[in-house]
Structure 1
Amino acid sequence: RHCVEAAEGAKASGAVRVGNGDNTREIPIDRWEVAPGGDGALMHTTEDMGLSHYAEIDDQACYSGQATAYGWSPSGSGKGKQLPVANATITGKSQYNLYEGAPGIKAQMEEGAAIQGGDSGGPLFYEGKVTGVVTASINPVADAAAGKSGDGALPDSDVD
């Protein structure tokens, strides 16, 4: 939601990137709908994405366990053909509820990874299902000052 809200009333634009490696392609977006609560939006593409299968959606929020987060981040924003991925530990419910949404999921990125601008909208997978969507980092100023990240990005993040 925070990615498209500034453009509210504007004509939807941009594209969804699908595929991997040399099979990457972009499909234009022709409209989007913002969720009434929480930091989410749905985008409509001008054509079927033609994927062989789609990820399952977890019908129960998970507040502990190992997960995998994906996002394009500034360092991978369109330059590469591989979607960056990071392992994460889900550590509980987040008290940082964006846009009056339901409690989010708090996840700690591992192995030096950090959620960064450009990762918003990326999926958080738990046991092979999408259990959340990357939306925000917590307290970037304090963590950057403490040396927890090299570029102001955070190892803790919230997902709806």
Structure 2
Amino acid sequence: MKPAIAIAVVAAAVGALNAAPPDKNPQAKHWAYIAPVRPEPPVLKDSAGIQNPIDQFIRSRLEREGIKPSPEADKLTLLRRLCLDLLGLPPTPQQIEAFIQDKAPGAYDRLVERLLQSPHYGERWARFWLDAARYADSDGYEKDSGRPHAWRWRDWVI
């Protein structure tokens, strides 16, 4: 072994021996093992339209950035956004009529609950899970042999 390489190896070994001792519990510093802390919501200059603590954090950031919040959307726009987000489908004329006519407090919350209970909600979101699991009813165009009981799992996911 060349003297320069031998010196480098010895120096590296001595450096490793002089390094700080290994952490007794390396998991203690990992974020997953640290208990979550609930931060206090910030105090706002204008608290109009705040419905929950998350809104306070968002509004605080908007104030800091000098951005004015958008005005509240009308009922038809809220319905359309909610249906497209949860179901992936536009609202039906019956849903539009029912939501527009519902003047009681909590109409939006009741609509959310109805849409979450819809089979269309399960169909929309199961598609992503089935894609992640690489679900298919057959092997594809090369070997198109069917899987006779695969639909049971698909229906269970939905």
| Greater relative contact order structure (CA < 8 Å, 6+ sep) | 1
Task: Tell me which structure has the larger Cα radius of gyration.
Answer: 2
Higher helix share: 2
TM-score (norm 1): 0.18
TM-score (norm 2): 0.19
